[in-house]
Structure 1
Amino acid sequence: MKARYLALILAPLFSTAALATTYTGPGAQPVTTVAAANDAADDTRVVLQGFVTKKLDNDDKFEFKDNTGTIKVEIDDEDMPAAGFNDKTKVKLTGEVEKNLMSREVDVDLVEIIN
């Protein structure tokens, strides 16, 4: 009897999960190249793959490069991967475009090392 009530209580939880969807229209997919990020609007989500080529003057600013160009990225210490990496290590950056007065940069939320 208890199992029957438990099944009745849990059934709606599992059936609504199949109905949940996400927005797939314009702007839903993140920008995936530096060239597109350099033209993107403020707060546009990005997922970039390439190389962090050098550290810039500021503590958390770096230059990032892919096949389409370079862009300045801001990576806070807590967003760095546990394993170290260098300019020859391919990485995946997830974040959002920050549009400044004269330029754009990516505020990185996650750095992943790609094998």
Structure 2
Amino acid sequence: MKARYFALLLAPLFSTAALAGAGYTGPGAQSMVTVASAQAASDDTPVVLQGHIINRLKDHEKYEFKDTTGTIAVEIDNEDLPPVPFDEKTLVKLTGEVDKGLMSREIDVDRVEIIN
């Protein structure tokens, strides 16, 4: 009898651990997009980009990001930059949202990850 109760107590722990690794893939889930699709996306659309930061722009905290489909300006707050140095050859993953201005679009980056 005690073994059955013990198993019932442990079952939710194992099922939660299994689901946590899977990740949410339904509506609203963020998936990798390209610069070209980010250029066409509407304001505040969540995006995840993978490519290279190739240049620092003159504006404060703005950089030029490039993938195989093109380039786009990205704004990265200093506290969101990775703690390790990186250069234009370092593959990075950016998580953020599209910021549509009157004349251009850029990505407001919330997270920068270095991809090994």
Which TM-score band (shorter chain)? 0.7 to 0.9
Q: TM-score, normalised by structure 2?
A: 0.77
In 2, the alpha carbon distance for the partners of 1:23 and 1:113 equals: 23
Residues 31 and 44 in structure 1, CA contact (< 8 A), matched pair in contact too: no
Q: Which ranges in structure 2 are unaligned for 5 or more consecutive residues?
A: 1-10
Residue of structure 2 equivalent to 1:47: 48
Q: Does the alignment pair 1:24 with 2:26?
A: yes
| CA contact 1:60–1:77 (8 Å) conserved in 2 | yes
Unaligned residue ranges in structure 1 (runs of 5+): 1-10
Could you list the structure 1 runs, at least 4 aligned residues long, displaced by more than 3 angstroms after superposition: 11-16, 27-31
* SS of equivalent residue, structure 2 residue 97: strand
Partners of 1:39 and 1:61 lie apart in 2 by 20
Question: Per the alignment, do residues 62 and 15 of structure 1 end up closer, same or farther by CA in structure 2, a change over 3 Å counting?
Answer: closer
| Offset, 1:31 | 5.2
Which secondary structure does the structure 2 equivalent of 1:58 belong to?
coil
RMSD, aligned α-carbons: 2.9
Following the alignment from structure 1 to structure 2, what is the Cα–Cα distance between the partners of residues 74 and 35? Answer: 17
- How high is the TM-score relative to the length of structure 1? 0.78
Equivalent pairs counted in the alignment come to 114
